[in-house]
A and B are shown apart, each in its own frame.
Chain A
Amino acid sequence: MNRLAQLRSEARFNLLGFRRSPAATFFTVVLPIIFLVIFTSIFGNEIISSTGARVATVYVPGILALALVSANFMNAAIVTVIRRENGVLKAMRATPLPPWVYVGGQLAASLVLTAFMTALVIGIGWLGYSVEVQPGAVPSLLITLGVGAAAFSALGLAITCVCPSEQAAPAITNMCVLPLYFVSDVFIPSEGAPRWMVVIGDIFPIKHLAHALGNTFDPFSEGIPMPVSRWLIIAAWGVFGVLVTLRWFRWTPRG
Protein backbone atom coordinates (compact mmCIF):
# COMPACT_ATOMS: atom_id res chain seq x y z
CA MET A 1 0.00 0.00 0.00
CA ASN A 2 1.17 3.53 -0.55
CA ARG A 3 1.86 5.78 2.41
CA LEU A 4 -1.33 7.81 2.07
CA ALA A 5 -3.48 4.67 2.13
CA GLN A 6 -1.49 3.46 5.15
CA LEU A 7 -2.09 6.75 6.94
CA ARG A 8 -5.80 6.55 6.20
CA SER A 9 -5.97 2.97 7.40
CA GLU A 10 -4.13 3.81 10.65
CA ALA A 11 -6.38 6.81 11.29
CA ARG A 12 -9.49 4.75 10.58
CA PHE A 13 -8.54 2.03 13.06
CA ASN A 14 -7.52 4.59 15.68
CA LEU A 15 -10.96 6.17 15.42
CA LEU A 16 -12.64 2.76 15.52
CA GLY A 17 -10.73 1.92 18.69
CA PHE A 18 -11.77 5.27 20.17
CA ARG A 19 -15.45 4.70 19.36
CA ARG A 20 -15.36 1.26 20.98
CA SER A 21 -13.67 2.47 24.17
CA PRO A 22 -16.28 3.69 26.65
CA ALA A 23 -13.68 5.49 28.78
CA ALA A 24 -12.18 7.41 25.85
CA THR A 25 -15.61 8.35 24.51
CA PHE A 26 -16.85 9.52 27.89
CA PHE A 27 -13.83 11.64 28.82
CA THR A 28 -13.37 13.20 25.39
CA VAL A 29 -16.93 13.63 24.10
CA VAL A 30 -19.39 13.52 26.99
CA LEU A 31 -17.51 15.08 29.90
CA PRO A 32 -16.65 18.42 28.21
CA ILE A 33 -20.34 18.88 27.31
CA ILE A 34 -21.37 18.11 30.89
CA PHE A 35 -18.86 20.71 32.14
CA LEU A 36 -20.17 23.29 29.68
CA VAL A 37 -23.75 22.77 30.84
CA ILE A 38 -22.82 22.74 34.55
CA PHE A 39 -20.62 25.85 34.50
CA THR A 40 -23.00 27.97 32.48
CA SER A 41 -25.83 26.84 34.77
CA ILE A 42 -23.93 27.70 37.95
CA PHE A 43 -22.62 31.06 36.79
CA GLY A 44 -25.59 31.96 34.60
CA ASN A 45 -25.22 33.38 31.14
CA GLU A 46 -25.43 37.05 32.01
CA ILE A 47 -23.64 39.87 30.29
CA ILE A 48 -20.36 40.47 32.12
CA SER A 49 -20.17 44.18 32.86
CA SER A 50 -16.42 44.49 32.43
CA THR A 51 -16.33 43.00 28.92
CA GLY A 52 -19.91 43.34 27.75
CA ALA A 53 -19.99 39.72 26.56
CA ARG A 54 -21.98 36.79 27.90
CA VAL A 55 -20.49 34.35 30.47
CA ALA A 56 -20.66 31.51 27.95
CA THR A 57 -18.35 33.49 25.66
CA VAL A 58 -15.65 32.51 28.14
CA TYR A 59 -16.83 28.96 28.78
CA VAL A 60 -17.28 27.82 25.19
CA PRO A 61 -13.61 28.37 24.27
CA GLY A 62 -12.52 27.03 27.69
CA ILE A 63 -14.41 23.80 27.19
CA LEU A 64 -13.21 23.62 23.60
CA ALA A 65 -9.64 23.80 24.92
CA LEU A 66 -10.43 21.01 27.39
CA ALA A 67 -11.87 18.84 24.60
CA LEU A 68 -8.81 19.46 22.43
CA VAL A 69 -6.43 18.50 25.25
CA SER A 70 -8.47 15.37 25.89
CA ALA A 71 -8.71 14.35 22.22
CA ASN A 72 -5.00 14.81 21.62
CA PHE A 73 -2.89 14.71 24.77
CA MET A 74 -4.91 12.23 26.85
CA ASN A 75 -5.79 9.89 23.99
CA ALA A 76 -2.34 9.77 22.44
CA ALA A 77 -0.77 9.07 25.82
CA ILE A 78 -3.19 6.43 27.08
CA VAL A 79 -3.53 4.50 23.81
CA THR A 80 0.23 4.52 23.28
CA VAL A 81 1.01 3.25 26.79
CA ILE A 82 -1.59 0.48 26.49
CA ARG A 83 -0.10 -0.63 23.16
CA ARG A 84 3.44 -0.40 24.46
CA GLU A 85 2.75 -2.40 27.62
CA ASN A 86 0.90 -5.12 25.68
CA GLY A 87 3.80 -5.57 23.28
CA VAL A 88 1.87 -4.23 20.28
CA LEU A 89 4.31 -1.38 19.57
CA LYS A 90 7.23 -3.78 19.70
CA ALA A 91 5.49 -6.11 17.25
CA MET A 92 4.78 -3.13 14.97
CA ARG A 93 8.47 -2.28 15.02
CA ALA A 94 9.09 -5.64 13.37
CA THR A 95 6.81 -4.74 10.42
CA PRO A 96 7.74 -2.50 7.49
CA LEU A 97 5.42 0.28 8.73
CA PRO A 98 7.55 3.43 9.18
CA PRO A 99 7.22 4.97 12.68
CA TRP A 100 6.20 8.32 11.19
CA VAL A 101 3.18 6.71 9.51
CA TYR A 102 2.15 5.21 12.84
CA VAL A 103 2.45 8.60 14.55
CA GLY A 104 0.85 10.37 11.59
CA GLY A 105 -2.13 8.02 11.71
CA GLN A 106 -2.65 8.81 15.35
CA LEU A 107 -2.36 12.55 14.71
CA ALA A 108 -4.84 12.32 11.83
CA ALA A 109 -7.32 10.51 14.07
CA SER A 110 -6.86 13.18 16.77
CA LEU A 111 -7.48 15.91 14.19
CA VAL A 112 -10.74 14.27 13.12
CA LEU A 113 -11.79 14.04 16.78
CA THR A 114 -10.78 17.66 17.35
CA ALA A 115 -12.84 18.78 14.36
CA PHE A 116 -15.82 16.79 15.62
CA MET A 117 -15.57 18.22 19.13
CA THR A 118 -15.12 21.76 17.78
CA ALA A 119 -18.30 21.44 15.74
CA LEU A 120 -20.15 19.96 18.72
CA VAL A 121 -19.04 22.59 21.27
CA ILE A 122 -19.57 25.49 18.89
CA GLY A 123 -22.97 24.09 17.92
CA ILE A 124 -24.10 23.79 21.53
CA GLY A 125 -22.66 27.19 22.39
CA TRP A 126 -24.55 28.76 19.50
CA LEU A 127 -27.88 27.00 19.97
CA GLY A 128 -27.88 26.93 23.76
CA TYR A 129 -25.99 30.02 24.82
CA SER A 130 -26.03 32.43 21.86
CA VAL A 131 -22.25 32.33 21.50
CA GLU A 132 -21.24 32.91 17.92
CA VAL A 133 -18.04 32.43 15.97
CA GLN A 134 -16.95 35.79 14.59
CA PRO A 135 -16.57 35.33 10.82
CA GLY A 136 -13.28 37.24 10.72
CA ALA A 137 -11.85 34.91 13.35
CA VAL A 138 -12.22 31.67 11.39
CA PRO A 139 -8.60 31.61 10.12
CA SER A 140 -7.38 32.22 13.67
CA LEU A 141 -9.62 29.39 14.93
CA LEU A 142 -8.27 26.94 12.35
CA ILE A 143 -4.64 27.84 13.05
CA THR A 144 -5.18 27.52 16.81
CA LEU A 145 -6.83 24.11 16.42
CA GLY A 146 -4.06 22.87 14.12
CA VAL A 147 -1.18 24.13 16.27
CA GLY A 148 -2.95 22.94 19.44
CA ALA A 149 -3.70 19.43 18.12
CA ALA A 150 -0.14 18.91 16.90
CA ALA A 151 1.45 20.29 20.08
CA PHE A 152 -0.77 18.36 22.49
CA SER A 153 -0.39 15.12 20.51
CA ALA A 154 3.39 15.54 20.73
CA LEU A 155 3.12 16.18 24.48
CA GLY A 156 0.93 13.07 24.72
CA LEU A 157 3.70 10.96 23.21
CA ALA A 158 6.26 12.68 25.43
CA ILE A 159 4.35 11.94 28.64
CA THR A 160 4.40 8.19 27.83
CA CYS A 161 8.12 8.32 28.62
CA VAL A 162 7.28 8.77 32.33
CA CYS A 163 4.30 6.38 32.44
CA PRO A 164 5.57 3.09 33.83
CA SER A 165 2.38 1.09 33.29
CA GLU A 166 -1.04 0.93 31.73
CA GLN A 167 -2.66 1.73 35.08
CA ALA A 168 -0.43 4.75 35.69
CA ALA A 169 -1.18 6.46 32.36
CA PRO A 170 -4.65 7.90 33.13
CA ALA A 171 -3.51 9.04 36.59
CA ILE A 172 -0.33 10.74 35.35
CA THR A 173 -1.99 12.47 32.40
CA ASN A 174 -4.84 13.75 34.60
CA MET A 175 -2.37 14.92 37.20
CA CYS A 176 -0.75 17.05 34.48
CA VAL A 177 -3.88 18.68 33.11
CA LEU A 178 -6.50 18.81 35.90
CA PRO A 179 -4.73 21.37 38.13
CA LEU A 180 -3.83 23.40 35.04
CA TYR A 181 -7.48 23.70 34.02
CA PHE A 182 -8.10 25.67 37.23
CA VAL A 183 -5.36 28.21 36.52
CA SER A 184 -5.92 28.36 32.75
CA ASP A 185 -9.36 30.04 32.53
CA VAL A 186 -10.97 26.73 31.60
CA PHE A 187 -13.07 26.03 34.71
CA ILE A 188 -12.94 29.42 36.45
CA PRO A 189 -11.62 32.83 35.38
CA SER A 190 -8.18 33.56 36.80
CA GLU A 191 -9.11 37.22 37.26
CA GLY A 192 -8.29 38.15 40.84
CA ALA A 193 -6.48 34.84 41.48
CA PRO A 194 -3.18 34.93 43.43
CA ARG A 195 -0.16 36.00 41.40
CA TRP A 196 1.53 32.55 41.50
CA MET A 197 -1.53 30.94 39.95
CA VAL A 198 -1.49 33.45 37.12
CA VAL A 199 2.22 32.81 36.55
CA ILE A 200 1.77 29.05 36.43
CA GLY A 201 -1.08 29.46 33.98
CA ASP A 202 1.11 31.67 31.81
CA ILE A 203 3.95 29.16 31.72
CA PHE A 204 1.94 26.15 30.54
CA PRO A 205 0.17 25.95 27.18
CA ILE A 206 -3.48 25.32 28.17
CA LYS A 207 -4.24 28.94 29.13
CA HIS A 208 -2.77 30.19 25.87
CA LEU A 209 -4.88 27.67 24.00
CA ALA A 210 -8.05 28.77 25.82
CA HIS A 211 -7.32 32.45 25.14
CA ALA A 212 -6.36 31.92 21.50
CA LEU A 213 -9.67 30.10 21.06
CA GLY A 214 -11.44 32.84 23.05
CA ASN A 215 -10.61 35.44 20.41
CA THR A 216 -12.82 33.48 18.03
CA PHE A 217 -15.94 34.18 20.02
CA ASP A 218 -15.25 37.66 21.35
CA PRO A 219 -17.89 39.93 19.76
CA PHE A 220 -15.93 43.06 20.63
CA SER A 221 -12.52 42.20 19.25
CA GLU A 222 -11.51 44.52 16.48
CA GLY A 223 -10.25 43.39 13.10
CA ILE A 224 -8.93 39.90 12.48
CA PRO A 225 -7.41 38.32 15.63
CA MET A 226 -3.91 36.91 15.24
CA PRO A 227 -2.72 35.69 18.66
CA VAL A 228 0.77 34.96 17.33
CA SER A 229 2.57 34.97 20.68
CA ARG A 230 0.13 32.41 22.08
CA TRP A 231 0.60 30.18 19.03
CA LEU A 232 4.36 30.41 19.47
CA ILE A 233 4.17 29.41 23.13
CA ILE A 234 1.91 26.43 22.31
CA ALA A 235 4.19 25.46 19.42
CA ALA A 236 7.26 25.72 21.67
CA TRP A 237 5.64 23.23 24.04
CA GLY A 238 4.97 21.00 21.03
CA VAL A 239 8.63 21.16 20.02
CA PHE A 240 9.58 20.29 23.60
CA GLY A 241 7.25 17.27 23.33
CA VAL A 242 8.85 16.18 20.07
CA LEU A 243 12.36 16.46 21.55
CA VAL A 244 11.45 14.46 24.66
CA THR A 245 9.77 11.83 22.48
CA LEU A 246 12.75 11.53 20.15
CA ARG A 247 15.10 11.16 23.09
CA TRP A 248 13.18 8.91 25.50
CA PHE A 249 10.30 7.20 23.66
CA ARG A 250 10.19 3.40 24.13
CA TRP A 251 8.60 0.81 21.85
CA THR A 252 9.07 -2.02 24.31
CA PRO A 253 7.09 -2.72 27.50
CA ARG A 254 8.48 -1.28 30.73
CA GLY A 255 6.45 -3.53 33.00
Chain B
Amino acid sequence: MSDAAHLAIEVTGLRKRYGGNEAVAGVDLSVSAGEVLAFLGPNGAGKTTTVEILEGLRSRTSGHVRVLGTDPAEATAAWRERLGVVLQGAKHEGDFTASEIVTMWSAYYRSPRRVADVLELVGLRDAARTRTRRLSGGQQQRLAVALALVGDPELIFLDEPTTGFDPAARREAWETIAGLRSLGVTVMLTTHYMDEADQLADRIVVISRGHIVADGTAAELARHAAIPTRVSWDAAELRRDQLPERLRELLAAPAASGPADPPEVSAGVEARPTIATGDVDGVVRELLAAADAAGTRLDSLAVRPPTLEDTYLALTGDGS
Protein backbone atom coordinates (compact mmCIF):
# COMPACT_ATOMS: atom_id res chain seq x y z
CA MET B 1 0.00 0.00 0.00
CA SER B 2 1.23 3.49 -0.74
CA ASP B 3 1.93 6.00 1.97
CA ALA B 4 -0.95 8.17 0.84
CA ALA B 5 -3.43 5.47 1.81
CA HIS B 6 -2.50 5.96 5.47
CA LEU B 7 -2.71 9.72 5.34
CA ALA B 8 -5.85 11.37 6.65
CA ILE B 9 -4.56 14.80 5.64
CA GLU B 10 -2.07 15.67 2.93
CA VAL B 11 -1.12 19.28 2.22
CA THR B 12 1.66 20.68 0.03
CA GLY B 13 2.41 24.28 -0.81
CA LEU B 14 -0.84 25.62 0.63
CA ARG B 15 -1.25 29.38 0.25
CA LYS B 16 -4.03 31.79 1.12
CA ARG B 17 -3.78 35.44 0.20
CA TYR B 18 -6.07 38.23 1.39
CA GLY B 19 -5.27 41.29 -0.68
CA GLY B 20 -1.59 41.91 -0.21
CA ASN B 21 -1.42 39.83 2.97
CA GLU B 22 -0.46 36.17 2.79
CA ALA B 23 -2.10 34.49 5.81
CA VAL B 24 -0.86 31.04 4.80
CA ALA B 25 2.44 31.16 2.95
CA GLY B 26 3.31 27.69 1.65
CA VAL B 27 2.29 25.13 4.26
CA ASP B 28 3.22 21.44 3.96
CA LEU B 29 1.50 19.07 6.32
CA SER B 30 0.64 15.41 6.62
CA VAL B 31 -1.42 13.65 9.26
CA SER B 32 -1.60 9.86 9.46
CA ALA B 33 -4.83 8.02 10.10
CA GLY B 34 -5.34 7.58 13.84
CA GLU B 35 -2.85 10.29 14.76
CA VAL B 36 -3.57 13.16 17.16
CA LEU B 37 -1.86 16.23 15.76
CA ALA B 38 -1.57 19.63 17.42
CA PHE B 39 -1.32 22.62 15.10
CA LEU B 40 0.35 25.17 17.30
CA GLY B 41 0.93 28.86 16.79
CA PRO B 42 0.23 32.34 18.12
CA ASN B 43 -2.94 34.26 17.23
CA GLY B 44 -2.91 35.36 13.62
CA ALA B 45 -0.32 32.76 12.59
CA GLY B 46 -2.67 31.20 10.04
CA LYS B 47 -3.97 28.25 12.08
CA THR B 48 -7.68 28.83 11.68
CA THR B 49 -7.35 29.81 8.03
CA THR B 50 -5.48 26.58 7.30
CA VAL B 51 -7.92 24.41 9.22
CA GLU B 52 -10.97 26.04 7.62
CA ILE B 53 -9.50 25.33 4.20
CA LEU B 54 -9.10 21.68 5.23
CA GLU B 55 -12.70 21.64 6.50
CA GLY B 56 -13.96 22.90 3.14
CA LEU B 57 -15.27 26.11 4.69
CA ARG B 58 -12.77 28.43 3.01
CA SER B 59 -11.22 28.61 -0.44
CA ARG B 60 -7.47 28.57 -1.02
CA THR B 61 -5.26 30.63 -3.29
CA SER B 62 -3.05 27.70 -4.32
CA GLY B 63 -1.58 24.41 -3.20
CA HIS B 64 -2.47 20.73 -3.12
CA VAL B 65 -4.89 19.58 -0.40
CA ARG B 66 -6.38 16.13 0.24
CA VAL B 67 -8.48 15.39 3.30
CA LEU B 68 -9.60 11.75 3.54
CA GLY B 69 -8.58 11.46 -0.09
CA THR B 70 -10.80 14.32 -1.27
CA ASP B 71 -10.09 17.91 -2.23
CA PRO B 72 -12.10 19.94 0.33
CA ALA B 73 -12.81 22.57 -2.35
CA GLU B 74 -15.03 19.88 -3.94
CA ALA B 75 -16.69 18.83 -0.70
CA THR B 76 -19.65 16.48 -1.05
CA ALA B 77 -22.21 15.43 1.55
CA ALA B 78 -20.68 11.92 1.49
CA TRP B 79 -17.29 13.39 2.40
CA ARG B 80 -18.78 15.51 5.18
CA GLU B 81 -20.33 12.35 6.65
CA ARG B 82 -16.78 11.26 7.53
CA LEU B 83 -15.78 14.53 9.16
CA GLY B 84 -16.41 16.11 12.55
CA VAL B 85 -15.80 19.83 13.06
CA VAL B 86 -15.62 21.84 16.28
CA LEU B 87 -15.39 25.52 15.43
CA GLN B 88 -14.02 28.19 17.69
CA GLY B 89 -16.67 29.41 20.13
CA ALA B 90 -19.92 28.33 18.41
CA LYS B 91 -22.83 28.90 20.81
CA HIS B 92 -25.89 26.74 20.36
CA GLU B 93 -29.52 27.67 21.04
CA GLY B 94 -29.76 28.29 24.76
CA ASP B 95 -33.41 27.21 24.94
CA PHE B 96 -32.62 23.64 23.89
CA THR B 97 -31.29 20.92 26.16
CA ALA B 98 -27.98 19.22 25.40
CA SER B 99 -29.84 16.07 24.45
CA GLU B 100 -32.19 17.95 22.10
CA ILE B 101 -29.35 19.64 20.23
CA VAL B 102 -27.47 16.37 19.78
CA THR B 103 -30.72 14.74 18.57
CA MET B 104 -31.28 17.58 16.12
CA TRP B 105 -27.73 17.24 14.74
CA SER B 106 -27.83 13.45 14.60
CA ALA B 107 -30.52 13.84 11.90
CA TYR B 108 -27.89 15.40 9.62
CA TYR B 109 -26.05 12.07 9.26
CA ARG B 110 -26.84 8.81 7.51
CA SER B 111 -25.75 6.51 10.32
CA PRO B 112 -25.36 8.56 13.49
CA ARG B 113 -24.26 7.33 16.88
CA ARG B 114 -26.97 7.01 19.50
CA VAL B 115 -27.57 10.31 21.29
CA ALA B 116 -27.22 8.76 24.75
CA ASP B 117 -23.91 7.14 23.74
CA VAL B 118 -22.50 10.42 22.47
CA LEU B 119 -23.47 12.28 25.64
CA GLU B 120 -21.88 9.50 27.67
CA LEU B 121 -18.69 9.69 25.57
CA VAL B 122 -18.19 13.38 26.28
CA GLY B 123 -19.30 13.12 29.91
CA LEU B 124 -22.56 15.03 29.55
CA ARG B 125 -24.92 12.24 30.57
CA ASP B 126 -25.95 14.02 33.75
CA ALA B 127 -26.45 17.31 31.90
CA ALA B 128 -28.53 15.76 29.09
CA ARG B 129 -31.71 17.52 30.20
CA THR B 130 -30.07 20.83 31.05
CA ARG B 131 -30.81 23.85 28.84
CA THR B 132 -27.54 24.72 27.11
CA ARG B 133 -27.58 28.31 28.38
CA ARG B 134 -27.06 26.88 31.85
CA LEU B 135 -24.05 24.73 30.89
CA SER B 136 -20.59 25.81 32.04
CA GLY B 137 -17.93 26.79 29.51
CA GLY B 138 -16.34 23.35 29.79
CA GLN B 139 -19.69 21.64 29.31
CA GLN B 140 -20.52 23.80 26.27
CA GLN B 141 -17.25 22.72 24.70
CA ARG B 142 -18.07 19.08 25.43
CA LEU B 143 -21.40 19.63 23.71
CA ALA B 144 -19.56 20.98 20.66
CA VAL B 145 -17.38 17.86 20.67
CA ALA B 146 -20.53 15.73 21.00
CA LEU B 147 -21.96 17.38 17.84
CA ALA B 148 -18.72 16.64 15.99
CA LEU B 149 -18.84 13.00 17.16
CA VAL B 150 -22.50 12.26 16.50
CA GLY B 151 -21.94 11.39 12.83
CA ASP B 152 -19.29 8.80 13.81
CA PRO B 153 -16.48 10.57 11.89
CA GLU B 154 -13.04 9.28 10.92
CA LEU B 155 -11.44 12.69 11.35
CA ILE B 156 -12.16 15.48 13.81
CA PHE B 157 -11.01 19.10 13.67
CA LEU B 158 -10.93 21.01 16.94
CA ASP B 159 -10.22 24.73 16.66
CA GLU B 160 -8.79 26.19 19.88
CA PRO B 161 -10.88 23.97 22.14
CA THR B 162 -9.88 25.63 25.42
CA THR B 163 -9.21 29.29 24.61
CA GLY B 164 -10.59 31.50 27.36
CA PHE B 165 -11.23 28.62 29.78
CA ASP B 166 -10.47 28.58 33.47
CA PRO B 167 -8.14 25.77 34.61
CA ALA B 168 -10.96 23.45 35.69
CA ALA B 169 -12.86 23.80 32.40
CA ARG B 170 -9.60 23.28 30.55
CA ARG B 171 -8.90 20.08 32.43
CA GLU B 172 -12.43 18.86 31.58
CA ALA B 173 -11.99 19.62 27.89
CA TRP B 174 -8.61 17.88 27.88
CA GLU B 175 -10.12 14.73 29.33
CA THR B 176 -12.78 14.69 26.64
CA ILE B 177 -10.23 15.19 23.87
CA ALA B 178 -7.90 12.56 25.32
CA GLY B 179 -10.90 10.22 25.26
CA LEU B 180 -11.16 10.60 21.46
CA ARG B 181 -7.93 8.66 21.13
CA SER B 182 -9.63 5.51 22.39
CA LEU B 183 -12.19 5.83 19.57
CA GLY B 184 -9.41 5.59 17.01
CA VAL B 185 -10.36 8.81 15.21
CA THR B 186 -7.77 11.07 13.66
CA VAL B 187 -7.68 14.41 15.45
CA MET B 188 -6.25 17.72 14.29
CA LEU B 189 -6.43 20.35 16.99
CA THR B 190 -5.28 23.93 16.81
CA THR B 191 -4.07 25.71 19.91
CA HIS B 192 -1.82 28.49 21.09
CA TYR B 193 -0.99 26.64 24.29
CA MET B 194 2.21 24.59 24.17
CA ASP B 195 1.22 22.59 27.25
CA GLU B 196 -2.08 21.66 25.62
CA ALA B 197 -0.28 20.47 22.51
CA ASP B 198 2.20 18.49 24.60
CA GLN B 199 -0.53 17.00 26.78
CA LEU B 200 -2.88 15.85 24.01
CA ALA B 201 -0.96 15.30 20.80
CA ASP B 202 1.31 12.63 19.33
CA ARG B 203 2.98 15.25 17.22
CA ILE B 204 3.15 19.03 17.14
CA VAL B 205 3.38 21.19 14.04
CA VAL B 206 4.27 24.80 14.76
CA ILE B 207 3.09 27.59 12.45
CA SER B 208 4.27 31.16 12.64
CA ARG B 209 3.38 33.98 10.25
CA GLY B 210 1.95 31.55 7.73
CA HIS B 211 5.00 29.25 7.69
CA ILE B 212 5.60 25.86 9.33
CA VAL B 213 8.61 26.41 11.61
CA ALA B 214 8.85 23.03 13.39
CA ASP B 215 7.36 19.55 13.35
CA GLY B 216 7.83 16.80 15.94
CA THR B 217 7.23 15.71 19.52
CA ALA B 218 7.61 18.26 22.32
CA ALA B 219 11.10 16.86 23.09
CA GLU B 220 12.13 17.06 19.44
CA LEU B 221 10.88 20.63 19.22
CA ALA B 222 12.95 21.54 22.29
CA ARG B 223 16.07 20.07 20.67
CA HIS B 224 15.24 21.86 17.44
CA ALA B 225 14.87 25.18 19.24
CA ALA B 226 18.29 24.56 20.87
CA ILE B 227 17.57 26.52 24.01
CA PRO B 228 20.25 26.10 26.69
CA THR B 229 19.55 24.49 30.05
CA ARG B 230 19.99 26.80 33.03
CA VAL B 231 22.20 25.74 35.93
CA SER B 232 21.95 27.90 39.06
CA TRP B 233 22.88 27.89 42.72
CA ASP B 234 22.99 30.16 45.77
CA ALA B 235 25.87 32.58 45.77
CA ALA B 236 26.10 32.04 49.52
CA GLU B 237 27.30 28.48 48.88
CA LEU B 238 29.80 29.20 46.14
CA ARG B 239 31.04 32.68 45.30
CA ARG B 240 32.02 33.91 41.86
CA ASP B 241 35.66 34.27 42.83
CA GLN B 242 35.72 30.60 43.85
CA LEU B 243 34.85 29.45 40.30
CA PRO B 244 37.38 28.26 37.75
CA GLU B 245 38.11 30.63 34.87
CA ARG B 246 35.90 28.84 32.26
CA LEU B 247 32.78 28.94 34.43
CA ARG B 248 33.34 32.56 35.34
CA GLU B 249 33.32 33.41 31.63
CA LEU B 250 30.09 31.43 31.07
CA LEU B 251 28.57 33.24 34.00
CA ALA B 252 29.51 36.61 32.63
CA ALA B 253 28.20 35.95 29.16
CA PRO B 254 24.41 35.79 29.49
CA ALA B 255 24.12 37.44 32.85
CA ALA B 256 23.94 41.16 33.09
CA SER B 257 23.06 40.03 36.58
CA GLY B 258 26.69 38.86 37.20
CA PRO B 259 27.56 40.89 40.28
CA ALA B 260 30.84 42.77 40.42
CA ASP B 261 30.48 43.23 44.16
CA PRO B 262 31.04 40.36 46.51
CA PRO B 263 27.90 38.16 46.05
CA GLU B 264 27.24 38.17 49.78
CA VAL B 265 26.02 41.75 49.63
CA SER B 266 23.88 41.46 46.49
CA ALA B 267 20.22 40.50 46.76
CA GLY B 268 17.41 38.94 44.76
CA VAL B 269 18.27 37.19 41.47
CA GLU B 270 21.83 38.33 41.74
CA ALA B 271 22.22 36.12 44.77
CA ARG B 272 21.62 33.18 42.37
CA PRO B 273 24.29 32.93 39.70
CA THR B 274 22.99 31.18 36.58
CA ILE B 275 24.83 29.51 33.72
CA ALA B 276 23.01 28.81 30.46
CA THR B 277 24.60 25.83 28.74
CA GLY B 278 24.15 22.99 26.30
CA ASP B 279 26.76 20.99 28.24
CA VAL B 280 24.96 20.34 31.52
CA ASP B 281 27.15 17.40 32.54
CA GLY B 282 30.43 19.31 32.10
CA VAL B 283 29.22 22.42 33.90
CA VAL B 284 27.81 20.52 36.88
CA ARG B 285 30.98 18.44 37.29
CA GLU B 286 33.13 21.57 37.30
CA LEU B 287 30.81 23.31 39.76
CA LEU B 288 30.92 20.37 42.18
CA ALA B 289 34.70 20.22 41.84
CA ALA B 290 34.93 23.95 42.60
CA ALA B 291 32.69 23.48 45.64
CA ASP B 292 34.93 20.61 46.78
CA ALA B 293 37.99 22.79 46.38
CA ALA B 294 36.33 25.61 48.34
CA GLY B 295 35.28 23.15 51.03
CA THR B 296 31.51 23.92 50.69
CA ARG B 297 28.40 21.97 49.69
CA LEU B 298 26.14 22.91 46.74
CA ASP B 299 22.74 21.91 48.18
CA SER B 300 21.08 24.76 46.27
CA LEU B 301 22.20 23.52 42.84
CA ALA B 302 19.30 23.54 40.36
CA VAL B 303 19.20 22.36 36.74
CA ARG B 304 16.28 23.72 34.76
CA PRO B 305 15.77 22.40 31.24
CA PRO B 306 13.94 24.75 28.84
CA THR B 307 10.20 24.79 29.49
CA LEU B 308 7.60 24.16 26.80
CA GLU B 309 6.96 27.86 26.86
CA ASP B 310 10.63 28.69 26.24
CA THR B 311 10.57 26.34 23.26
CA TYR B 312 7.35 27.82 21.94
CA LEU B 313 8.53 31.40 22.24
CA ALA B 314 11.85 30.57 20.59
CA LEU B 315 10.17 28.74 17.70
CA THR B 316 7.50 31.33 16.99
CA GLY B 317 9.89 34.21 17.47
CA ASP B 318 7.56 35.83 19.97
CA GLY B 319 10.29 36.04 22.59
CA SER B 320 12.45 38.39 20.57
Contacts and interface: CB of A to CB of B under 8 A. Distances in A.
Contacts of A1: 107-110
B293 interface: no
B267 interface: no
Contacts of B55: 94
A13 B106 CA distance: 12
A16 interface: yes
Interface string A53-97: 000000000000000000000000000000100111011111111
Nearest to A95: B108
Given A96-B108, A96-B109, A86 B151 contact: no
Contact of A17 (B56, B96, B107): B96
Interface string B47-79: 000000001110000000000000000000110
B77 A96 contact: yes
B309 to A, nearest CB: 30
Contact of B87 (A5, A16, A20, A94): A94
A104 to B, nearest CB: 13
A94 B80 CA distance: 7
B105 interface: yes
Nearest to A83: B93
Contacts of B83: 94
Nearest to B89: A87
Given A1-B107, A10-B107, A13-B104, A94 B85 contact: yes
Interface string B84-123: 0101111111011000100011011110000000000000
A91 B87 contact: yes
A75 B243 CA distance: 79
Interface residues of A, number: 23
Contact of A88 (B57, B90, B107): B90
A144 to B, nearest CB: 32
B147 interface: yes
B109 A86 contact: no
Interface in A1-27: 1, 5-6, 9-10, 13, 16-17, 20-21
A96 B151 CA distance: 9
Contacts of B96: 13, 16-17, 20
A1 B91 CA distance: 25
A97 B90 CA distance: 17
A136 interface: no
Contacts of B110: 1, 96
A5 B57 contact: no
A87 B57 CA distance: 13
A164 interface: no
> Nearest 9 CB-CB pairs, A to B?
A87-B90, A94-B85, A20-B95, A9-B107, A96-B77, A97-B108, A96-B80, A86-B91, A95-B108
Interface of A: 1, 5-6, 9-10, 13, 16-17, 20-21, 83, 86-88, 90-98
13 contacts: A1-B107, A1-B110, A13-B104, A20-B96, A21-B95, A87-B89, A88-B91, A92-B108, A94-B85, A96-B80, A96-B110, A96-B151, A98-B77
